Amino acid sequence: MPGGSCHSEVSGIAQSCRRYMMDSLFSFFLVCFPLHSGQLCRMLVRMMGAKRILAIDLLNFPSFLTMAEVVPDGGSITLCATQSYLEEAIQKTPDFSSHGNKIKEKIGPIIDSMKELAAMGEDFDIVFIDADQRSPAEYYRFVMENHLLRMDGMLCVKNALMKGHGYLENTADENVLDVKTLNQVINSDPCTEQGVVKDEVFWGYRGRRILDRLQLDEKVAYVTGGGQGIGRAFCHALGEAGAKVAVVDLIPAKANAVAHELSLKADISKPEDIQKMLDKIVAKWGAVHIACNNAGINMNSSSEDTSLEEWDKTFNINLRGLFLCCQAAGRIMLNQGYGKIINTASMASLIASDSQDARGIVDTPLIHSEELKPLVQRWLTDIPAGRLAQVTDLQAAVVYLASEASDYMTGHNLVIEGGQSLW
């Protein structure tokens, strides 16, 4: 902040604070004005939610007290100073404030006090350093090298501009030279966020942090087979991430039990049902961004006993219906220029059936029949994780696949099976 009025500098700091709140590396601010510094520090403490604060030979008692008033119970402000100038005031605070007991002094050589704090494993949410003292760069280096500042903490330097004297080319003032050295050290330190880093890893892709990129706000999704089991879990996961979700199921009562926005009945083996489903979704929400094709059935009959009727029904829903959903949703997505198609498949596509009549690793109502209990026990012996998958084990994956965070993933088979395919 090389100049400008106090007002513009305060505004700049506030903007930096807002930027800081989005990042998780070290941050620092240069505070160069003497008026109302206590209120500024109070604002920073409140914005940070800071509980532990370290001040290195800085501020006056009213400033400390105004910060202490917003420090949560159990928090503290530690002052490292060469001589005590708060002790008497702290003793008097019970007369007019209940927060004075949050303020602690460590008197003596400042580096010795800091070494003591480091030896105790202390760290702080905010560290204040007054640049208007001898060798402030030494204090800065000690703070950073000994991890007195938390990784998500804030370093605030007061008097960093020395009323503009820090910009003088030729000066013999030792304090000014010390401040210039401090600024050079900070500017060259890669551990401090100074608002000039352009790396998207640091700032987030297109300014969006990773958790923001997993959000599905304003996205429209449908989930076939959404009335129970895996589909129900997918509906909740996508909805929790912010998407508008159409719950599609052959049984309307099951869809209605899950849906809050829109439930639809559709037989995905019929192209006309699929088209009606998508037309209703587009008419209500204007788009289809996420097609989650999850519907499937398991007739649970051995190959030699499978009837042609069972074969046709399984094929029509599990394969033909999947293709028809992908095709119809794909047309919409091609026109939109964006979309995600997520298909659920069985582990039987990866592992031979080894004489078993059916295979599955997800604990859903489809495998709760009495006749399948012995088979479930056998599955458990084949899964290194020692348990069947719960539908909640799959929810984070579907959110990732549906979000912009997975935009570079395409045509991929994501396997979540507790290690079953390793044996």
Range from 26-40, 115-129, 169-183, 398-412 carrying the lowest mean pLDDT: 26-40
Rounded to an integer, what distance in angstroms lies between the CA atom of residue 186 and that of residue 179? 11
**Mean of the per-residue pLDDT values of the chain:** 79
Task: Tell which wins on pLDDT, 290 or 57.
Answer: 290
Helices 136-145 and 110-119, axial angle in degrees (round to 10) = 0
pLDDT at 350: 78
How far is CA 178 from each of CA 85, 166, 172, 187, 229, rounded to the nearest angstrom? Answer: 24, 9, 11, 14, 67
Write the class of the CATH domain 6-203: alpha beta
pTM of the model: 0.58
Q: Mean per-residue pLDDT for 326-336?
A: 96
Rounded to an integer, what distance in angstroms lies between the CA atom of residue 42 and that of residue 60? 13
> What kind and span of H or E run contains 264?
strand 262-265
How far is CA 7 from each of CA 32, 36, 40, 132, rounded to the nearest angstrom? Answer: 12, 12, 12, 22
Residue 278 banded pLDDT, cuts 50, 70, 90: very high
pLDDT at 5: 29
> Could you tell me where in the chain the CATH 3.40.50.150 domains are found?
6-203
Rounded to an integer, what distance in angstroms lies between the CA atom of residue 56 and that of residue 39? 18
Give the other-Cβ count within 10 Å of 167's Cβ. Answer: 12
pLDDT at 196: 47
Task: Tell which wins on pLDDT, 35 or 209.
Answer: 209
pLDDT at 374: 79
Encoded tokens for 324:
């028809």
Q: Considering the domain 210-422 in this protein, what is its CATH number?
A: 3.40.50.720
Q: What is the DSSP letter of 354?
A: T
pLDDT at 6: 29
> Could you tell me where in the chain the CATH 3.40.50.720 domains are found?
210-422
